[in-house]
A and B are shown apart, each in its own frame.
Chain A
Amino acid sequence: MTGTEIALIGAALAVGLAGIGSAIGVGIVGQSASGLVTEDPDKFGQTLLLQALPGTQGIYGLLAGFIIMQNIGIIGDELLVLTVPQGYAFLMASIPIAIVGLVSGIYQGRVSASAVGLVAKRPEELGKGIVYAVMVETYAVLALLATIMLLFGIPL
Chain B
Amino acid sequence: MEPLSWTGLLGPVLNPILLAALAVLALSLIATLILGLLPAPAPVAQADGTLAGRRGPADWSRLVMQGALWAILAIVVIYLGAGIVIPGIENKGIIGAVSARFLPVWIALIVTFALSITFKRRLGLYGKLFDNPIGMAGFGLVMFWIFTALFAGLFDMITTHGALDVASGMKNKAPGTPLNGAEPGDYPYYLLGGDTLARDVFSRMVAGSFVVIRIAPLATLFAFMVGITLGLPAGYVGGRLDTLLSFLANLILAFPVILLFYLLVTPEIVETGIPSYLAVVLFLFPLIFLTVLINARYFTDPRKRTIILALVLIPLGWLYLSLVSDRDTPVNVLPAGLDLFDIPGGILVVFVSVVFVNAPTVFRIVRGLAMDIKTRDYVAAAQTRGEGPWYIMLWEILPNARGPLIVDFCLRIGYTTILLGTLGFFGLGLPPDSPDWGTTINAGRKLLSIYPHAAIVPALALLSLVLGLNLMADGLREESLKD
To the question of whether A and B form a pair in one complex, the answer is: no
A→B interface (CB under 8 Å):
none
